Chain A
Amino acid sequence: MSDAFEFRLERMFAESPAMPDVDLFTLETMGRLDRGWTARRLVIGGMGAIGGLIGATQIVGSGALGQLHALGAQGNAYLAERLAQVVPAGLSHGGIGLDVETLWMIGALAVAAAGFGLVRLVREI
């Protein structure tokens, strides 16, 4: 059970004089915080780069690129065929230049835009 002296002791502990170098201390603390975050970003970036390099080496080593190229060629042929059915001949050759490569680029840009949107949404939440 706390008595009057214990309450007084708590109050005495709570009373602390302002340190004269409070601004310097704050500056140093925030500097350490920033250095910590910079180091963390560098480590994460470095780990990502190393992981990416290892992944790329594995992909190249497994011959997946050749398979992907073959799949891409098939996809291109399929897309070109579908495009020829949908878009009038005058448009696809000349006109507005709507060919298979353009479609791939539009698709990639749409994916990138969706990615940015998602990141923004996560930050808002």
Chain B
Amino acid sequence: MAERQSVASAHDLELVALGAAGDRRAFGELVRRHSSAVRSLLRRMGADGPTADDVAQDAFLAAFEQISDFRGQGAFQAWVKRIAARLYVKRWRREARTELLADSDAGASSAHGGGELGAASRIDLDAALATLSAPERVCVSLCYGAGLSHAEAAAALNAPLGTVKSHVKRGLDKLRARLAPEAGERREAHV
């Protein structure tokens, strides 16, 4: 009982150290703490509920395998999110959606994803992301949700840096118009 409490109150870094020593309970606590954020990011990238859960599980299994590589620079959650985002992109590319990465302004994504989370009225960001094309959504989520640089996102997507940058820019413009229209107008006036 006391042990369970100590795991529940332990800092992420302590749990990572215990997990690296093979403590499954400590790693389970990390999964419990951070799985919602990881699954949420994947849904925001456009994954449907079951796919997001599947990729999130893969990400945590990969994290357990590589946990001794995590040196504590940055948060554990951000680290797992990057692993998950890269895994999802791999799957997304495998499913022959790479042609969507052509530098064209495709229509809004048909995969709104998100199951319970997709309720547009509940979360502004989810609703705004649903108006983006699939490549814009993935590129914006990789850069602002998973914390990848443009170059890292381009490498993960195996796409030219310029293409990723233009998807991010177009996606940002759409999100800005939706989430902060007054700021967008100010920017346009300034330009």
Which residues of A are interface residues toward B (Cβ below 8 A)? Answer: 3-6, 8-10, 12-14, 16-20, 22-23, 25-26, 28-30, 32-34, 36
Shortest Cβ distance from A11 into chain B, in angstroms? 10
B24 neighbours in A (Cβ, 8 Å) = 30, 33-34
Which residues of B are interface residues toward A (Cβ below 8 A)? Answer: 24, 27-28, 31-32, 35-37, 39-41, 44, 53, 56-57, 60-61, 64, 116-117, 123-125, 140-141, 144-145, 147, 172, 175-176, 179-180, 183, 187
Across the interface, do B36 and A26 meet the contact criterion of CB distance under 8 Å? Answer: no
Across the interface, do B36 and A16 meet the contact criterion of CB distance under 8 Å? Answer: yes
Across the interface, do A30 and B31 meet the contact criterion of CB distance under 8 Å? Answer: yes
A25 neighbours in B (Cβ, 8 Å) = 31, 35, 39, 53, 56-57
7 A-B pairs, CB-CB below 8 angstroms? A9-B179, A12-B125, A22-B36, A25-B57, A26-B31, A26-B32, A32-B61
Kindly state the separation between the CA atoms of A16 and B180 in the bound complex, as whole angstroms.
Answer: 20
Across the interface, do B28 and A30 meet the contact criterion of CB distance under 8 Å? Answer: yes
B140 neighbours in A (Cβ, 8 Å) = 9
